[in-house]
Amino acid sequence: MSDCSWKGTAAEDLDRSYGKPQYPPLLPSSCHAILIRLPVRTNAIPEPFPRQTHDVWNRNYVRLPCSPQSLYPVSEDELQKRWEIIQEELQKSITSSAQLETAILSYNSRYASKWNFQSLHYFFCETVEEDEARIFFESIFPKLAQLACNLPQILTGGVPLLKQHSSASISLSQLQIASLLANAFFCTFPSRNTLKQTAEYSNYPDINFNRLFGCGRGDKEPSVQEKLKCIMNYFRRVVNDPPTGVVTFSRYYVVKEALPNWAEVQSKLPRLHISSEGTIEDEGQGMLQVDFANKFVGGGVLSMGCVQEEIRFVICPELIISRLFTECLDDTEALIITGCEQYNKYTGYADSFSWAGDHIDTTPVDEFGRRYCTVVAVDAIYYARNPSLQFSQFHLQRELNKAFVGFSFGPPICGIATGNWGCGVFCGNAELKALLQVMAAGQTGRDLAYFTFKDDKLRDSIYKMYKFLCDKGSTVGKLYKLLCRFSDHRAQNKNSDLYSFLYSEYNAPAQSKLSFSKPTSE
């Protein structure tokens, strides 16, 4: 074996999407809200659709801050249109973060004693140079405020909520996303601040940026400052040079009956490229790139989190807007984002995460102006409290189904770029999760590119097992049955090792009393 950093299929032989029709196409339908006018012209900012503003204010749509129906109590018995207050405040001259705090609280007065803006103040007073802060307030801030205030002209249609247990897509121009994100920055979204369990949006991630602004002092939370640098750079870019592309957000739900009966699956294992070098976002170009998600997509991006998902969301900030309309993911659901752009470079990870400058994304675009960059958010289960649980049949199936749902969206035009999904913060077992992802990729007919994030030992161990299984001609179903056997075995032998078991038991006869298809409980 060569001593290079990868094994298996060469990276250049993997299927990539470039030049192929991306899914979903931009065809208006009851389950695809296209908020721009078609056809899209290359290199021009898409025009909003419909032509006339269509205000919707109900439980199926995002409650937009500019809706005339969004009212705010200004005295005991007087309500005012909240958008009027917002516009008035944002059009004032604001030259410091203290004034920005005052403006934000003027239309969020109920939270005046609850929110703090420590991280934001630290950013402008300590993190950036005095000159940079001045330039921000003089030349970027007014354009950002204008971008937020122009929301009703930029986005004329209602944004449907991507609710649980239905598949639906939303296509927005990058400019529409920028205007929505500018509103999130100014904390203008109504009904999104209460923490009550019974609140209308309790099953949605938060979207207003107040939590990020209040994450504590910069010296205690350096990664929050670095995330702010990413976000500020994104805003600097979009206000000075409005982007012209389109991004599609798709919620994908698979009904239980349509999931594979894993024990019976005859598919072979997919082609595998496994490398200890490289990242999903860099080496996975033109592939379906896995986001190691939280069921509330974006996880801690607008608070303290700074691992794979949060980093992905701040280097490609358009992803953050998915939090506005994506209800928390259920077991057989995924969110797929097609066409996002990378605006930032980074180094480090978690506490050492650091903004490394502006990134110019040269990824080609499809006929609808969407970059050939697709991210699939799939949430693993959190196993820190009870790691043994992941080997139970119920959990094997849950994680396998989740990966399958994410990988099976649209025709298999490209491979999947992934890695230690669920194995960092969520404490999963990487040798197990790798096999589950191999199986899901095999069943969906896609190549798998797996990045072990500098772990040579893990790369070698997974590749050796993969090769062994391929040499034996294993099918996905056969491997599933073996995993189920391991599940029973492990219940009696707590410390047993998965791969040792698979090597020794591969040819052992299955015990007939086991039922593989219907695990009933945890």
Which chain residues interact with ligand AR6 by CB under 6 A? Answer: 279-281, 292-294, 299-300, 305, 307-310, 380, 419-426, 451, 453
- Would you say 80 and 188 are in contact if contact means Cβ atoms under 8 Å apart? no
Residues 6+ apart with CB under 8 A from 157: 33, 35, 48, 49, 50, 54
Helices 308-315 and 222-240 pack at an angle, to 10 degrees, of 30
| 522 in catalytic set | no
* C-beta closer to ligand AR6: residue 368 or 404: 404
* C-beta closer to ligand AR6: residue 406 or 419: 419
| 200 in catalytic set | no
Q: What angle do CA 189, 58, 63 make, to 5 degrees?
A: 10
Measured CA to CA, the distance from residue 375 to residue 452 in angstroms comes to: 18
| 310 in catalytic set | yes
Nearest distance, CB of residue 109 and ligand AR6, angstroms: 31
Nearest distance, CB of residue 350 and ligand AR6, angstroms: 8
Q: What angle do CA 361, 333, 224 make, to 5 degrees?
A: 50
Nearest distance, CB of residue 322 and ligand AR6, angstroms: 12
* C-beta closer to ligand AR6: residue 235 or 292: 292
* C-beta closer to ligand AR6: residue 158 or 428: 428
Two tokens at 346?
A: 């980074």
Nearest distance, CB of residue 154 and ligand AR6, angstroms: 29
Catalytic residue from among 89, 101, 221, 309? 309
φ, ψ (nearest 5 deg) of residue 340:
-75, 160
* C-beta closer to ligand AR6: residue 158 or 305: 305
Return the number of other C-beta atoms located less than 10 Å from residue 363's C-beta: 16
What 3-state DSSP class applies to 199? Answer: coil
Catalytic residue from among 15, 101, 206, 310? 310
Nearest distance, CB of residue 344 and ligand AR6, angstroms: 13
The closest of 190, 204, 192, 104 to 144, measured between CA atoms, is 104
- List residues bridging with 80 in a β-sheet: 72
Catalytic residue from among 101, 221, 226, 291? 291
Nearest distance, CB of residue 310 and ligand AR6, angstroms: 6
User: For ligand AR6, which residue has the nearest CB?
Assistant: 299
Measured CA to CA, the distance from residue 318 to residue 247 in angstroms comes to: 8
* C-beta closer to ligand AR6: residue 308 or 474: 308
Nearest distance, CB of residue 349 and ligand AR6, angstroms: 6
Omega cis (within 30) before 260 = no
φ, ψ (nearest 5 deg) of residue 354:
-145, 135
Q: What angle do CA 23, 27, 409 make, to 5 degrees?
A: 25
- Would you say 283 and 11 are in contact if contact means Cβ atoms under 8 Å apart? yes
* C-beta closer to ligand AR6: residue 239 or 376: 376
Residues carrying an active site annotation: 291, 309-310
